[in-house]
Amino acid sequence: MIHRRLIYYESVSLAESLNETAFGKGLVVRGKHVLIIETPNNSAILHRINAQQIYMQPIGTFALTNDSYEIYSTKYRQTWSALNDVMPINIHLLTFDQLGPEQYLIRLEHFFEKNEDEVFSKPVQVDLQKLFYSQGQIIDLIELTLNANLPLNDIKRLNWTTTENQSSHWNGNGKSCFFFVSSYSQLI
């Protein structure tokens, strides 16, 4: 259900009519539905990639300027990307944040679930130096916890025994963490 409008009391849920209005008219909710009909084996790749493209769709914004396009385009950079290479199809760049002159917080996300797709659910290796070459040479890299407040090597996990006498200890070797702080030396 996207939106409901009940002008009369329907004696089922609410003890009153539901007539939300704005500017003297009933509220209107607009949305977009995408229906993918595919076999379960092929649906994950279509669903995950389309969801990213729909959710991360660019928003066009405009502003008035007194300059002609030729003058404006010489004054201002109109496009820029920190990426110098194509990301793997199952990896998404969540964050590229400059923390200081030579420090960046980079968050990468592998957005396929385990065993969801035969090919794209597998672990992926990413060469950060190749991806972000335009920023300079990476000289230091610290892998952090998912909330980026502690180096992964310093994490202390609680261990307990389950009711089935199994240990809760997990040794993921950092393969599931996607936060990195990188120090760069500038290109000359």
Backbone angles phi, psi at 37, to 5 degrees: -110, 110
> Could you report the per-residue pLDDT of 29-73, keeping only the tens digit for each?
777 888 889 888 888 899 999 998 888 888 888 888 899 999 999
Determine the Cα angle at 59 with ends 54 and 60, to 5°: 140
Q: Structural domain boundaries of the chain?
A: 80-185
Per the listing, tokens 């060469």 go with: 127
Beta-bridged to residue 151, according to DSSP, are: 144
Tell me: domain 80-185, CATH 2.60.15.10, correct?
no
> Could you report the per-residue pLDDT of 85-139, keeping only the tens digit for each?
899 999 999 888 888 888 888 888 888 988 889 899 999 998 888 998 888 888 8
pTM for the complete prediction?
0.65
